[in-house]
Amino acid sequence: MTSTVSAKPVSWKGKGKATNSEADFYDLNPMITYRLLHSRNLGVKDPLRVIALCDSDAFYAACEQIRLGIDPSRPLVVQQWDSLIAVNYPARKFGITRMEKIKEAKKKCPELVVVHVATYKEGEKEPGYWENPDTSTHKVSLDHYRRESMKVIRMFQEGLPSGEIEKASIDEAFIDFTRPVREEILRRYPYLSQVPADAPNGADSPLPPPPPIMWDGLGTVLPVNAPSPVNSVIAVDAPGDQGISYDDSEGIDNGDDSTTWHDVALAIAAELMGKIRHDIHMKVGYTTSAGIARNKFLAKLTASYKKPNSQSILRNAAIPNYLRPLPFQKIRFLGGKLGKAIAEEYEASTVGDLLSISLGQLMQRKFGEESIWVYEILRGIDRSEVKEKSAVNKSMMASKNLPNPIMKASQGPHWIRVLAAELALRLREAREEMPALWPKTLVLHARQSYDASRSKQAAFPFTRDASVDVIASAGDKLWKELVGTDNSRTTPLKITNVALGFTGVGVMEVGQRSIDAFLKPPSTSKEAQGTDTPVKRKRDSHDDAQDARRDLVRRKSGSDGEAVPDRATYFVCNECGKRISLPGDLVGDGLEQVIVKEALEALRVEHTDFHYAQELSKELGDSVGSPRKFRPSSGEQTQPGTKKRKPKQSGGIAKFFAAK
Ligand code: TTP
Ligand code: CA
Ligand code: CA
């Protein structure tokens, strides 16, 4: 893509005053000085902050269309039981919406392609597109959509190595363009990298006026002056399937000549976003729609301005007229009780209606702590960061609402098997990305009719092969503890939801290190003794491996060895006497103590597993996997000429550590 912003140097003529007289929306044209431009870590206060939200069009429908190789112009919907969950744009032309029943949709469009979402059924390890799936026996699988979603996210990451990316849902992500855009501004306008000698306030002088911007080809630029008719009906957090009509003012900016450096930043971000969206379409087939603005809230709002396959840009100058007519209850978090309370309190319906209420007034009413947030969001201010969610302590949950409630305890295991199949698949796939990943806890939730859900949890056995059987039998045990058996129950049962999940799924960078260490030759004489021990167990008997591990954990976790301080980020291993620390980047992140504790616990389990695996490896006389993938750490050498086994045959711990 060619540069669309003129690179003509401009003579120094500072203009530092806000040009916008919109008193309600202050800070729309902040002064940008050389110092601010040259600062790298201004975070959410950066006056050149640029954020995008990119959302896939009719996502599940697109996934099915691509999976089945169907012409994208054919109307297609995705069905879940009796309802539609995704409607592609050609089908929307027939007036079909997500709210419709299949029958009505087919009446509107007889040639409609209807695909039922994949489901799990008992006894099948993989979800499938079965004939006549039934909600009383099957469970929806979103696995294919998750996988496709990851492909798109990876393209964002590849397209923007220096930008932060936050997956916001299965089909959308926020992208922080601030850094790459700033780099690009300094590259295109090299005269900005030095403070001019005649600048009156040195580095605190404002930048010279920006060059003119050619918006053509960059997307739809929202109008500064006239509120678009679209604005008043557009949904903030809702899908763009309510039949909105759009003006096609691609690249047109009606009637504002006060270009700012922030506009330049938006234009560059739009170029980058457009390129990434184009690549996604070419390489994985999905069309997307993006919104580009100064913060997350506005980016999300702008993304649905024009769909599908398009991008929209909200200049700061356009914020007031875009927000004012917006029904405020469409703003996320203002839709529920809070929004209703505000609407009643002030007899208001649009953002504009609420702008005359001062922060003090809001605070005096019942909005308490939320007042500041409400006050700011109405003015288009959002200080939340784009942040990749921490990999520590993730959870994976498979849940099933039961239209036919479970009335007998003996019906539980059917659903536990179905849920276990989903968990097994998700864990397996997650491990393809990150092999050193394991869940610490398995938790089972069950909801009795309208009561709150109750749950039971237990440590999940360490095993590389977290098969459906392993998960289901652990789940069955929890079921017995939570619900009992048909014979043990005295009260009637009516369970309407059952969910099985992994919590504390640890992704430790140190995992790799331990794996490295694990492949090192035994270093102590005690360890060396075991090398000749003949193989006693069948290699794929992971149950044995688990039992042995449990023994080991019992033997070794009696005490932590040397006393460590309360807020420690390390522990001292009894077995090897080594001090084992959390990785620096984890600790330095200002993580909450509870997370640090969890991470430390995961590390402890992992370290114990490492010792256990070492012992097991000796017992098996095995090098476990291919050493080429796992380089030895800290200068120690991999044992040369170690006997190798075919990874395929390995099981349990050995399999866990086998190279993929
Ligand atoms: P959305 O992004 O809300 O909608 P969409 O991608 O289908 O359409 P649009 O082009 O307007 O963005 O949701 C993403 C996917 O999430 C959607 O394809 C199906 C699923 N979904 C549901 O299963 N149930 C729902 O109620 C919603 C809103 C979405
Ligand atoms: Ca979408
Ligand atoms: Ca979405």
Q: Which of 55, 59, 148 for mutating ligand 1's site (highest number of atoms within 8 Å of CB)?
A: 59
Q: How many angstroms is it from 58 CA to the middle of ligand 1?
A: 6
Which residue's alpha carbon is at the smallest distance from atom 25 of ligand 1?
Answer: 85
Phi, then psi, of 184 in degrees rounded to 5: -70, -40
pLDDT for 476 beyond 90: yes
Protein residues with CB under 6 Å of any ligand 1 atom: 55-60, 85-86, 170-171, 239-241, 307-308
CA 268 to chain centroid: 25
The pLDDT-based confidence of 433 (bands split at 50, 70, 90) is: confident
How far does residue 354's CA lie from ligand 1's centre (Å)?
A: 30
Using most ligand atoms within 8 A of CB, pick from 171, 236, 306 the residue to mutate for ligand 1: 171
Instruction: Write the residue with the smallest CA distance to atom 1 of ligand 1.
Output: 239
Which ligand 1 atom is the nearest neighbour of the CA of 87?
7
For residue 145, the 8-state DSSP code is H
SS3 213: strand
- Which residues are close to ligand 2, an ion, with C-beta < 5 A? 55-56, 59, 171
**pLDDT confidence bin for 593, thresholds 50/70/90:** low
Pairing, β 310-313 against β 288-293: parallel
Among residues 424, 399, 412, 405, which one has the least CA distance to residue 124? 424
Q: Which residue has the higher pLDDT, 347 or 433?
A: 347
Query: What distance in angstroms lies between residue 169's CA and the mean position of ligand 3's atoms?
Result: 6
pLDDT bucket at 389, cuts 50 / 70 / 90: confident
The pLDDT tens digits for 572-581 are 777 777 777 7
Q: Which ligand does the CA of 173 lie closest to?
A: 3
pLDDT of residue 87: 98
Residue among 472, 500, 486, 414 at smallest CA distance from 136:
414
Could you tell me if residue 484 is left (phi over 0), alpha (psi between -120 and 50 degrees) or otherwise beta? left
Compute the distance from residue 135 Cα to the ligand 2 centre, in Å.
25
Does pLDDT of 254 surpass 50?
no
Ligand 1: atom nearest CA of 308 is 10
| Nearest ligand, measured from the Cα of 98 | 1
Which mutation among 53, 82, 85 tests ligand 1's pocket best, with the greatest number of atoms within 8 A of CB? 85
Lowest pLDDT segment from 351-355, 368-372, 581-585, 588-592: 588-592
Cβ of 529: how many Cβ atoms within 10 Å? 11
Q: Report strand pairing: 579-581 vs 570-572.
A: antiparallel
- For ligand 1, atom 24, name the residue with the nearest CA: 85
Tokens at residue 566, please? 């309360």
Distance 608 CA to ligand 2 centre (A): 44
Order the strands of the 172-176 sheet from edge to edge. 164-169, 172-176, 51-56, 288-293, 310-313, 220-221
Q: Which ligand is nearest to the CA of 241?
A: 1
End-to-end Cα distance, the chain: 39
Q: 68 alpha carbon to ligand 2 midpoint, in Å?
A: 19
Which pLDDT score is estimated for 231?
44
* Residue with CA nearest ligand 1 atom 23: 85
At 60-111, the pLDDT tens digits run 999 999 999 999 999 999 999 999 999 999 999 999 999 999 999 999 999 9
